[in-house]
Chain A
Amino acid sequence: MIIKQISIFLENVAGRLAEVTKLLAKHEINLRAMTIADTADFGILRIVVDQPDKAVKALRDGGFTAKTTEVLAVEVEDRPGGLAKVMEIFQQNHVNIEYLYVSLEKNKDKAVVIFKVEDLKLGEKIVEEHGLGGKVTL
């Protein structure tokens, strides 16, 4: 399924990430997954939260440069070869992946992989065709 991810531009200054988590805590927003892409002097923090619209507003009000991006969340079996199966499907159907990171599904023994794909529509179609488009609970 398609979910909203929030990207936040972060300078490489001490304590900046802590300010994000503090702000989210204050607004009682629960973090479900996160990853940081970093370059020499800035980073992009990507998060998945339980209340994305509320989180973006809180972040922007708090002075952060934040943006919503749509990504694919795919349930993957938590055992050897679980991800390999999904990757093979993507490869065969030319779904190019820009990046991915992992979360854990609530109440189930499954992992959720967050994919940022080049062509979201194509990615969604392929996922559905292969029975991977089920709803995930983050």
Chain B
Amino acid sequence: MTQYAFKEKELELIPREQLEELQLSRLKTTLSRALKTDFYRQRLLPLGIDNPEALHSLEDLRNIPFTTKEDLRIAFPYGLLAVPLEETVRLHASSGTTGTPTVIYHTKRDISAWSDLVARSLMAAGCTKRDVFQNMMTYGLFTGGLGLHYGAEELGMLVIPAGPGNTIRQFKLMKDFKTTVVHATPSYMLHLYDKLSEVEVSRSDLHLRKAIVGGEPHSEDIRRKIEELWGIEVYNCYGLSEMNGPGVAFECIERSGPHLWEDSYIVEIIDPHTLEPLPPGETGELVLTTLRREATPLLRYRTRDLTSILPDPCPCGRTHRRISRIKGRTDDMLIINGVNVFPSQIEEVLMRMKEVGNNYQIVVEKSGALDKLTVKTEVTPEIFSDDARDLNAIREKIRENLKASISISPVVELHEPGILPAWEGKAKRVIDIREKSV
């Protein structure tokens, strides 16, 4: 019989009725916190929403308007802060649709609650304090690295904060410290395997038994491929920085869809066009409300991720419902090697540079297992110089400016005017020729 491990057994197996009571009580707290922020006061008071006690049931949540990424930009930098600044201990930021990032603040208790959630998730995935955990996700403003790091420490795992890249060092760390669990993007797991033949390390030198993968959507086929190549179990982790980061939803050892931790978030699935709620089993946009965060409460945040609530209970007994794999986005956000990039960010950088013409094209493709971003720009007669060094310097400047904005380094190509398709709206400026993985 399968042995399921629980970090907070009572809470994880809580009957639905009690879970919903807990949600309502926490929702009221979230609303009272939200009413302390400039943003939500301006948004909610004119609607007569001025008292958390006005929420009589979870259905009443539908009277509250959605919050969008654009709202977070409007509220930048402190408009959504619900506590005095001295109560905050950390911020994380993710890419906005323009140069203004989406910023989320955390109090000490927020970090602790998030860590608990990740620790609970790791334990559900069969990790224990005896595991050696090599975290290959990016540390920094991006939540992937620190989120899992704190959670793994909370569980008592030995954490190797390796960060991404540097394949040779990754193998050395894995071998030297007998790493049993890694955290990486699925494409990096495939990339690592490709590189295994090039290093003086063989699979049998490694003690790897599990991989936690997140940061980018991937198919069940990709999961199976990583599992078969490495001979390990692969667990799907879902999160977004607006909802803390990783650990919003996490797979248990059944590996049949991540459980969304409903004591910490209220989950809704809506039709992205009519904005009406959809029943379990139907695919729509995931909308989440924070239930525990003090510093930055968010009500009905539109994640733009397309998924569905899996209607059947999981054999593990957890009452927190599972969601399906992310099936796509309702906006034009690109996920490139786990980094979120909006085409509008790239456009903003290019349009600011007088050296660059108005036409550009963004191409995303696979280079081996990893994603490759190419930004094609035009050499206008005004900037064309007889000197190739000048052109290369312009190209380098474009690359550096883009890297500063989107935090990944693209390949920049210079083209003759008229070669790239003329201005016809955004859609044709982005060409994503990666194999559709969903």
Contacts and interface: CB of A to CB of B under 8 A. Distances in A.
A42 B391 CA distance: 10
Q: How large is the interface on A (under 10, 10 to 19, 20 to 34, 35 or more residues)?
A: 20 to 34
A63 B381 CA distance: 10
A65 B388 contact: no
B385 interface: yes
B207 to A, nearest CB: 42
B342 to A, nearest CB: 26
Contacts of A13: 419
A42 B412 CA distance: 12
A46 B380 CA distance: 17
Given A42-B414, A44-B388, A67-B386, A11 B380 contact: no
Interface in B407-428: 413-419
Interface in A77-93: none
A7 to B, nearest CB: 4
A65 B386 contact: no
A15 to B, nearest CB: 13
A107 interface: no
Interface in B346-394: 379-381, 384-388, 391-392
Contacts of B414: 9, 41-42
For the residues of A in contact with B, the DSSP-based class is strand
A138 B188 CA distance: 59
A67 B388 contact: no
A11 B386 contact: no
Contact of A65 (B380, B392, B413): B380
A63 to B, nearest CB: 5
Nearest to B418: A63
B387 A65 contact: no
A11 B384 contact: no
Contact of A39 (B384, B385, B388, B415): B388
Contacts of B413: 41
A65 B416 contact: yes
Interface string A17-53: 0000000000000000000010101101010000000
B306 to A, nearest CB: 36
A63 B419 CA distance: 10
B132 to A, nearest CB: 43
B384 A65 contact: yes
A60 B384 CA distance: 13
A69 B419 CA distance: 24
Looking at B386, B392, B418, which has the most chain A CB atoms within 10 Å of its CB?
A: B386
A65 B419 contact: no
The 4 tightest CB contacts between A and B, nearest first, are: A7-B386, A69-B386, A65-B384, A9-B384
7 contacts: A9-B416, A39-B388, A42-B414, A44-B388, A63-B418, A67-B384, A116-B386
Given A9-B379, A37-B388, A39-B392, 11 more contacts: A7-B386, A11-B419, A60-B381, A63-B416, A63-B417, A65-B381, A65-B384, A65-B416, A67-B381, A98-B387, A116-B386
